[in-house]
């Protein structure tokens, strides 16, 4: 394994160098062909970038499944806004989990349908509980939780004496 430096964007838009490790990977011809197709279709700069992106996503999913780390994510809901009491039940769930629900945005679509995106942060299992409660409400057509291994920075520190 050799190490090299890779330039990556840092906070504030400046660039910093971060060491990367080079590894050898053995793939079947079919899998390599599919990888090359994906690299071209998705516009990755290289096979390495594509593999790193896919691997990162898999590692985030693994952390979500096996741990209770604090993560940030979105719950995306697609629902019939005419379903009796659904919007109130979804709002009540957001209030019940006020510590984890950061924000929500809903967009009215055609044919009495609504797309709602809820920004959440908290322990992975709690986020899954919130998503499951929302997705299984009567009138929700589909829903999905997406999490990433990152945190929203604290904007204003809590000071109980202030």
pLDDT 10s digits, 18-34:
788 888 888 889 889 98
The band of 140, judged by pLDDT with boundaries at 50, 70 and 90, is very high
Q: What is the pTM of this model?
A: 0.65
Per-domain boundaries in the chain = 27-66, 70-148
The band of 162, judged by pLDDT with boundaries at 50, 70 and 90, is low
Confidence check: pLDDT of 16 > 70: no
Q: Check residue 10 and give its pLDDT.
A: 44
Given the candidates 1.10.1220, 2.10.260, 1.10.150, 1.20.140, the CATH classification of the domain at 27-66 is 1.10.1220
Give me Rg for the CA atoms of the chain.
Answer: 20
Cα dist from 7 to 1, 15, 35, 92, whole Å: 19, 6, 24, 45
The fold of 70-148 is Alpha-Beta Plaits (3.30.70)
Q: Are 115 and 107 in contact (CB under 8 A)?
A: yes
70-148 shares the fold of 27-66: no
DSSP state of 127: H
More confident residue, 23 or 117: 117
């Amino acid at each position: 394994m050799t190490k090299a430096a890779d330039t990556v964007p840092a906070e504030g838009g400046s660039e910093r160098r971060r060491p990367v490790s080079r590894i050898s990977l053995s793939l079947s011809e079919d899998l390599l062909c599919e990888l090359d197709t994906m690299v071209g279709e998705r516009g990755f700069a290289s096979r390495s970038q594509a593999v790193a992106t896919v691997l990162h996503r898999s590692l985030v999913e693994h952390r979500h499944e096996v741990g209770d780390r604090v993560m940030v994510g979105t719950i995306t809901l697609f629902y019939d806004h005419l379903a009796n009491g659904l919007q109130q039940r979804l709002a009540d769930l957001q209030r019940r989990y006020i510590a984890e629900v950061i924000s929500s945005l809903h967009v009215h679509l055609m044919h009495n349908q609504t797309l709602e995106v809820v920004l959440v942060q908290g322990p992975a299992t709690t986020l899954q509980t919130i998503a499951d409660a929302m997705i299984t409400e009567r009138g929700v057509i589909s829903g999905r939780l997406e999490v990433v291994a990152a945190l929203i920075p604290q904007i204003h520190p809590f000071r109980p004496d202030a």
